Chains A and B, each alone.
Chain A
């Protein structure tokens, strides 16, 4: 082990489904090694007690959607040496950022019997909009191999192996047949950051963009091609407006095709 004292790990939850945190528990084969390498100081999904901060590494899941979240993330940041956001909610506002395109009070009125008790912000926002973030791990949910790599990189002081290029590059390395070229299926792979292990194209589906925009994403050129494949504005808008709806490039492109 690099350090005599095991670094303290904390896992925080904001507005999210818990799927990304559960990816940590899903690291079944590596879980014991992980528990050896770090002291799991705060992780309500995994242990009841809480060891006081400061924490060497905080993993933050979820987006900021309430006034309380907004204050809490400041406290988390203050208690953390390194803060890594995990998942589409924490890095791009998540699926709940669909509210950013509509009136959240109308949603609350439709869902709750007494909406006046609901205290919520008008937008769901990424953690980095509120505090400095040391690294953003993408995905809905995150990929277990990438998560382990980021934690290992943190432990050994090296750069994480988390490339920002397209899904396509890995799709071709895998030897998949391109579903867009060979079947005419809409695929967001050319504008989406890799990381999922090319899950959907490997099963003859188009990429849904779970890992958000890649580096220099040309969303407009892909949209123009999707139109040639027969997609209408509504379909193009919905394609860009899912789990990473509030990521800059996807948000701007979806707005060009809908409200």
Chain B
């Protein structure tokens, strides 16, 4: 997949619903497993799909702190919803992976590596924040000296069909994080859904040679200036409808750094359940731990890697106990890492403004509101603290 930025370029085209169906079919024909949005159990989730009929046509969502409801739209939009309950992380950085298995032999033991064969997947309807999050996980999981081979293998062959958001969710704040709602890189093809009266079309922009080759196979027409303008208007409308904003985003890393003893941490800990939902749904949170098991007869052993969270006591357990025993210190660790120390570690923010941690927190704790509260009484609690 190309890293180059897409312009509203000459190779942009316009397709209709049949064109979307043909696009999905062409991906299947070229050996891709489609992973995309569909309605299940009262939400629009990313899962394996087979084609156009699985898409959440006419559905949207209403999101707020600790609340998500599926709702009907007044039109037949295919992509008229905001962030899904979980991100693409589920498919690239798996919740559970067996790393190896060992069998006892006559003179010791033999290790068999069990790399899961990586599926060639196509991500259907990835959003700007999603792609930013994948770029962040790339840096963490395969950008350093010790890349995660499983992640790298799953990641390598993905085909990305992105969608410029046509509707902002109640907890979205990508505009303030400068990550959306328009996709800028990391995709093969990008769609903008154009609905107006009887019109139901999609502007398609090309992000890679693979995307261009695929587009060439589809029934389409060349995009005109008015199509491009209509797509820009969709994105502008979405940008103006953000449910939330991160206050003074450029200041946040320093703000948190100088407010480690702010009384707000205590206040949020009174409400925080340390349940870890925020870290599980966050598309950039990458932490895992490994668990070793032995069979009862002692003949086989295996090591499994699982998503873990800085909200558990075990995660920071060292000799003598947990380093972050209080929920206050655990919430602070999470938020300061996301918004502040991530910059030092990886050169970006760890937050893309998708709003998932707000919607899926069972008690509606809101990262933007917590930052705003600290900003409003900057310096309360003394200048410095210990992490």
Contacts and interface: CB of A to CB of B under 8 A. Distances in A.
Contact of A168 (B41, B292, B297, B362): B362
B69 A182 contact: yes
A221 B268 CA distance: 10
B95 A173 contact: yes
Interface in A16-61: 30, 33-34, 36-37
B68 A182 contact: yes
B281 to A, nearest CB: 7
Interface stretch (A72-80, A105-113, A126-134, A147-155): A147-155
A218 interface: yes
B362 A225 contact: yes
A68 interface: no
A178 B325 CA distance: 26
B108 interface: no
B273 interface: yes
Interface in B264-296: 270-277, 280-281, 291-296
A164 B43 CA distance: 29
A225 B66 contact: yes
Contacts of B45: 177
Contact of A216 (B274, B277, B295): B274
A155 B298 CA distance: 9
Nearest to A189: B275
Interface string A155-186: 11010010111101100111101101111100
Contacts of B101: none
A174 B66 CA distance: 19
Interface string A180-213: 1111100101110000000000001000000000
Interface string B83-111: 00110001000011000000000000000
B307 interface: yes
A230 to B, nearest CB: 13
Q: Tell me what chain A mostly uses at the interface: helix, strand, loop, or mixed.
A: helix
Contacts of A222: 273, 362-363
Interface string B33-47: 000000011110100
A2 B297 CA distance: 9
B306 A215 contact: no
A3 B295 CA distance: 16
A1 B274 CA distance: 40
B359 interface: yes
Interface residues on B, range: 35 or more
Contacts of A30: 296
Nearest to A225: B363
Nearest to B94: A173
Contact of B280 (A161, A173, A181, A189): A173
B305 to A, nearest CB: 12
B176 interface: no
B159 interface: no
A96 B66 CA distance: 35
Nearest to B45: A177
A168 B362 CA distance: 9
Contact of A164 (B85, B90, B281, B313): B313
A165 B363 contact: no
Given A182-B68, A182-B85, A190-B362, A168 B298 contact: no
Interface string A87-107: 000000000000000000000
A96 to B, nearest CB: 29
Contacts of A33: 295-297
A215 B273 contact: no
Contacts of B291: 161
A186 to B, nearest CB: 10
A91 B111 CA distance: 39
Contacts of A173: 95-96, 280, 306-307
A165 B312 contact: yes
B312 A182 contact: no
B67 interface: yes
22 contacts: A2-B298, A33-B295, A33-B297, A36-B297, A151-B296, A152-B293, A155-B296, A158-B292, A164-B313, A165-B313, A168-B362, A169-B312, A172-B276, A172-B277, A172-B280, A177-B40, A177-B41, A180-B66, A182-B43, A189-B275, A215-B313, A225-B364
List the 8 shortest-distance A-B pairs measured between CB atoms, nearest first. Answer: A172-B280, A190-B275, A190-B273, A173-B95, A168-B275, A165-B312, A166-B275, A169-B276
Interface of B: 40-43, 45, 66-70, 85-86, 90, 95-96, 270-277, 280-281, 291-298, 306-307, 309, 311-314, 325-327, 359-360, 362-364
